[in-house]
Homo-oligomer: A and B are copies of this chain.
Amino acid sequence: MPDVFIHNQRFYNPVDYVLQLIGGTWKVPVLWRLRKRSLRYTELEKDIPHISQKMLTKALKELEADGLVSKTTFAEVPPRVIYALTEKGVYLIPLVETIRNYGIELLKESGVDYDKLIREEQKTGK
């Protein structure tokens, strides 16, 4: 597995490269919420549990720099900013789903019924 350099950054292998794009704690939660429709900054913030403004801003900046997410600013007062998946972002959603399904399977083998957690979450209103 030879090293690869892109934009002066080194990757040890192709998996390493993908995990730079979608890895870390906060990028997947953002991508996952944008998969159905575009969202505003505040919508993402309200929708992603535990995320801080700092981490949301950082995740969005990196996703935009890597071409997975686009940002559209409307020059209104107060400003309106819309984040959406790019073609590259859309391309990566099936991979996220695949990893997610593995996770749900592994959780099941650890005795955690994730689908049930989801259903209970929806029953309690949020």
B-contacting residues of A (Cβ < 8 Å)? Answer: 1-4, 6, 12-19, 21, 23, 25, 28-29, 32, 49-50, 88, 92, 95-96, 98-104, 106-107, 110, 112, 114, 117-118, 120-121
Contacts and interface: CB of A to CB of B under 8 A. Distances in A.
Contact of A102 (B13, B95, B110, B118): B95
A96 B15 contact: yes
A23 to B, nearest CB: 6
Contacts of A23: 19, 23
Contacts of A13: 28-29, 32, 100, 103
B103 A18 contact: yes
Given A13-B28, A15-B32, 11 more contacts: A1-B32, A4-B112, A12-B50, A13-B32, A14-B101, A14-B104, A14-B114, A18-B99, A18-B102, A19-B19, A19-B99
A19 B95 CA distance: 13
Given A29-B13, A110-B6, A118-B2, A99 B95 contact: yes
Contacts of A18: 99-100, 102-103, 106
Nearest to A6: B110
Contacts of A14: 99-104, 106-107, 114
